[in-house]
Every structure is written in structure tokens, then in C-alpha cells.
Amino acid sequence: MLPFMNKRRKTMATIYKELEVKIRSLSDTEKLKLVDSLLTQLDRPDPEIDRI
């Protein structure tokens, strides 16, 4: 593996852990808002699938 790739993985792992800590500190209401926002982004219409 290339050195810069390993460094990027460590960075992503660090970011993931930081996000996890922040999310766990949110209230239940804030967590629900976050989940709703993420699901909304993932549920965008896909014209290619809609044509089927």
C-alpha cells in the first residue's frame, strides 16, 4: 500500500471516531433530525431507475 493511502485511512478513521463521539452526545431529537436528513439525501430520485 502506498504511504499516502495509509495516511488517508487514518484520517478517515479519526474523522469517523470524532463524528461518532459528537453524534452520541446529541439529544434523541437531534439524532432523529440527523437520521432524517441523511435518509432524505439517500432517497433522492434516480431518473435511470424511474425509467424502468
- Dist CA 18 CA 12 (whole Å): 10
* Higher-scoring residue by pLDDT: 49, 40: 40
Can you give the three-state secondary structure of the chain, one letter per residue?
Answer: CCHHHHHHHHHHHHHHHHHHHHHHCCCHHHHHHHHHHHHHHHCCCCHHHHCC
Q: 48 lies in a domain?
A: no
Classify residue 23: in a domain, yes or no. yes
Q: What is the pLDDT of residues 10-32, one digit of tens each?
A: 788 899 999 999 999 999 999 99
17 in any annotated domain: yes
> Is residue 18 in some structural domain?
yes
Mean pLDDT rounded to a whole number for the chain:
85
Q: Given a cut of 90, is residue 34 above it in pLDDT?
A: yes
How many independent structural domains does the chain possess? 1
Which of these, 24, 25, 3, 5, lies nearest to 13 by C-alpha position? 5
| The three cell numbers locating residue 13 | 478513521
Confidence of residue 5 (pLDDT cuts 50, 70, 90): low
In a domain, 20, yes or no: yes
Q: Is residue 49 part of a domain?
A: no
Report how far Cα 36 is from the mean position of its chain's Cα atoms: 12
Residue ranges making up the domain that contains 11: 3-43
